[in-house]
């Protein structure tokens, strides 16, 4: 009687991801890797540049690579669309979440490109690697791509994941919570939709009524009035709510310190972030994280 080998869900996902990345790199020659929900490598390095091999060989830089891979994946999840970004080393990457049966297993991260396009944001502060002559030599050999080519490559990878029999792109449950970005469809005023989108894309910035009003071309008083009518809360309450939601995601899926998360979400004082977090969730960030054994 022949022996039957049944693969676990995790093994099936890894096998499918490996097949996707092989097809993707064969067609595009663009580097990619599969990372887990902490940003750590869980596959071979496909078509990696010498520059990225070098950066990941240095522990200090490698930890920053992990952070960028995780944050890039969470950005895609949050926006439900691929968001190219500049990593800490200045290269352009993009990330596709790997979701199976409503569980987030990790992210396929691709890129390692150079682009001067201003539409691509920096994800983290840049690492000062330029003084290393070997790193600079490798960096000069990194391929350059236009913005349109980067977006095309992201669509190719996204399509491969979508057509996979084992994977889906539904919003997964992370730490017991579901992402909630469907609110835009319930907002009637286009000015407020634009305001909400701007806030979600700039949570790490110093958001104020004045800067947001300038961005959406409204007076501060009129924007404040419209926003409260549409959202049933004032602008700062909404900003804090968005930051707390984002903080919940990061706390449930990473080991990043509360101090680092606080700074990433635009708070200058960790104590204030903890106060706001408890006000909205009923518990401290440390207590929230403890529930997920992180």
Helix 190-201 vs helix 220-231: crossing angle, to nearest 10:
90
What CATH class is the domain 177-290?
Answer: mainly alpha
H or E stretch at 38? none
Q: What CA–CA distance (Å, rounded) separates 100 from 273?
A: 33
Neighbouring-strand partners of residue 168 = 99
Per-residue pLDDT, 292: 63
Q: What average pLDDT does the chain have?
A: 83
**Whole-model pTM?**
0.56
Parse the chain into domains and list their residue ranges. Answer: 9-174, 177-290
> How many H helices and E strands in the chain?
12, 6
Q: What is the CATH number of domain 9-174?
A: 3.30.450
Per-residue pLDDT, 122: 83
Per-residue pLDDT, 138: 93
Per-10-residue mean pLDDT for the chain, 294 residues long? 49 87 93 88 92 91 87 76 86 88 84 90 82 89 92 87 56 41 69 90 89 90 91 91 90 86 91 92 88 59
Q: What CA–CA distance (Å, rounded) separates 77 from 95?
A: 9
Q: What CA–CA distance (Å, rounded) separates 195 from 107?
A: 29
């Amino acid at each position: 009687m022949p022996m039957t080998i049944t693969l676990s869900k995790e093994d099936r996902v890894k096998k499918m991801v490996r097949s996707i990345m092989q097809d993707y790199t064969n067609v595009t020659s663009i580097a990619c890797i599969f990372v887990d929900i902490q940003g750590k490598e869980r596959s071979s390095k496909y078509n990696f540049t010498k520059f990225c091999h070098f950066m990941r060989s240095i522990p200090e830089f490698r930890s920053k690579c992990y952070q960028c891979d995780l944050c890039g994946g969470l950005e895609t999840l949050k926006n439900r669309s691929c968001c190219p970004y500049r990593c800490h080393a200045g290269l352009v990457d993009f990330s596709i979440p790997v979701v199976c049966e409503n569980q987030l297993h990790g992210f396929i991260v691709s890129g390692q490109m150079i682009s001067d396009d201003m539409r691509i944001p920096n994800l983290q502060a840049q690492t000062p690697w330029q003084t290393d002559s070997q790193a600079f030599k490798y960096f000069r050999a990194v391929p350059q791509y236009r913005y349109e080519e980067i977006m095309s490559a992201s669509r190719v990878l996204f399509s491969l994941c979508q057509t996979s029999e084992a994977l889906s792109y539904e919003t997964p449950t992370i730490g017991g919570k579901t992402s909630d970005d469907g609110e835009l469809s319930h907002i009637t005023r286009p000015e407020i939709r634009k305001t909400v989108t701007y806030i979600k894309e700039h949570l790490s910035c110093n958001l104020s009524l004045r800067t947001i009003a300038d961005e959406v071309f409204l007076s501060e008083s009129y924007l404040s009035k419209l926003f409260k009518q549409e959202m049933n809360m004032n602008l700062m309450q909404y900003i804090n709510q968005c930051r707390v939601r984002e903080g919940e995601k990061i706390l449930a899926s990473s080991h990043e310190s509360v101090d680092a998360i606080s700074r990433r979400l635009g708070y200058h004082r960790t104590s204030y972030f903890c106060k706001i977090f408890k006000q909205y969730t009923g518990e401290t960030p440390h207590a929230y994280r403890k529930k997920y054994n992180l």
